[in-house]
Structure 1
């Protein structure tokens, strides 16, 4: 989790450099990380433990108002992010709606010969075809792989690639569609990304800078429906089915990614004291339930630290 110079805290922020022990199992582990003195020490300890056990860890947390980085490590390294790669596809979809190059009510048939059967809701629905706007809701709210594949086919892979570069995400990429099995001719992952670029993307979404205000608002609205609150958001006590208008004034927008040995999340959390954009990716050997639970616990600890920082 070695931060690049761009991810180091601003001079005078008081963020210490932390030296790490030698790696076990032959994997590279973080040598140092930037962490704000006011908080995030529990997160840093948990992430260090994961790295020392052989996991690949990347994290980036920055204040929304000042862009000041308060926690960072290996945030420039592209790692597999699974369904988190849906977010750029949603951005390109919303841009197509705004420019009228895509009709939100265009009906898309479900391709049963390419159906992903291991996840998603659309495969359980009787409707064999849905409009693009409904597919965007399914992809954002439930991470539906078949809906995401349909959106990617509609907007075009090259258009998503170009959009990501325009958004300032040259080290991240959507590599392939979702598949039940990946053969030797398929890309090894759906998507890869850096935590720095995805945290900045979420900051741009809530600041109306992702393409333009209308596109940013549409994507943020879709993502506010996300029902996977089991990682960072597990510390926030939100209703997974209705958290876009929290009674305590909590602004929270996020998207997660999951695959075998991969957990990733990016989002924005804003409270009365501060607002932050964050991203965390952990790639690990999913050898047992305990391995997986240690990773999930690290996400929960980061969520707790984010709550304390913003409230």
Structure 2
């Protein structure tokens, strides 16, 4: 893994309105922007057999700040819904999909691994609400409803249109995967995940309208347990932070898989980031060691942007 040289700060950020002109003294900034703690944590996981893909990109300069096997394709679990949400938003914008089209819960195959719709009395919901549930709560049933409506081929075509050559949405969510099912819900690389989040906040994912809609959905995400735990944001309301922190993210979790990608911007800088860790989930300590590495990255990212 390597750290790129610190980018010059002579470019105007697309998110400049969310930042102040405050700057740390140069000596103080140098020690705070090295990501050495993150590297140590990830190297420790690698020594214990974990497969890791990580990418951090400075949004103002478009340059890599930290990269380690960021081109490697790995399973990304629920984070694979991001291109699905982009396809749904594109359908809303073009008129191919009606946001108020009703989907009956009874028409869907039962899946209980994550989400809240399975616990709600509502027998049907509109597509727009299903997109919110998918982004905000990782709702597997809602995501499957969206997949059924737009079709896997359309999502795969959208992934190709986005230039994500090392990513794929393989299947729907399932409680159990049999020998005839795809081995994973989705695959991706840290580089492409960081790139698609950068495209969302820079209004470059399909169109400005589609980018804004997907970013709005993702801003509702409740899971701040990994990288995002370092932000101090309210998991249930973090769209308008009083300290000017711009943040969107999506996580993915499955047996032996932890993933997070997002955008974090503060007064000093803005970054897109992605971290994928595949590990042997042999004990709670193995899992907690992985979670701590994500939180270490979050702390280093906060020091980079503030």
- Fold in common (TM above 0.5): yes
2:17 corresponding residue in structure 1: none
The aligned length equals 283
2:204 corresponding residue in structure 1: 209
CA distance in 1, matches of 2:256, 2:86: 27
Report 1:265-304 matches (<5 A). Answer: 265-304=260-299
Range with greater deviation from structure 2 (118-127 or 90-99): 118-127
SS, match of residue 114 in structure 1: coil
Contact 2:113-2:140 at 8 Å conserved across structures: no
Following TM superposition, by how much is the alpha carbon of 1:57 offset from its aligned partner in structure 2, in angstroms? 0.6
SS, match of residue 126 in structure 1: coil
Give the TM-score taking structure 1 as reference length. 0.88
Following TM superposition, by how much is the alpha carbon of 1:150 offset from its aligned partner in structure 2, in angstroms? 0.6
Report 1:1-311 matches (<5 A). Answer: 9=4, 38-111=33-106, 114-311=109-306
Given the superposition, is the C-alpha separation of residues 37 and 270 from structure 1 closer, same or farther in structure 2, using an over 3 Å criterion? closer
Range with greater deviation from structure 2 (193-202 or 106-115): 106-115
Given the superposition, is the C-alpha separation of residues 96 and 57 from structure 1 closer, same or farther in structure 2, using an over 3 Å criterion? same
Q: Which runs of 5+ in 1 are unaligned?
A: 14-35
Query: Cα deviations across residues 96-152 of structure 1 (Å, max 9, x unaligned)?
Result: 000000000000111466111122100000111100000000000000000001111
2:14 corresponding residue in structure 1: none
Q: Which runs of 5+ in 2 are unaligned?
A: 8-30
SS, match of residue 228 in structure 1: coil
SS, match of residue 280 in structure 1: strand
| Higher RCO by CA contacts (8 Å cutoff, separation 6 or greater) | 2
Give the TM-score taking structure 2 as reference length. 0.90
Query: Cα deviations across residues 194-222 of structure 1 (Å, max 9, x unaligned)?
Result: 00000000000000000000000000000
SS, match of residue 234 in structure 1: helix
Report the aligned-residue RMSD. Answer: 1.6
CA distance in 2, matches of 1:280, 1:115: 30
Query: Cα deviations across residues 253-288 of structure 1 (Å, max 9, x unaligned)?
Result: 000000010000000000000000000000001111
CA distance in 1, matches of 2:170, 2:97: 22
CA distance in 1, matches of 2:300, 2:77: 25
SS, match of residue 195 in structure 2: helix
Structure 1 stretches of at least 4 aligned residues deviating more than 3 Å after TM superposition: none
2:12 corresponding residue in structure 1: none
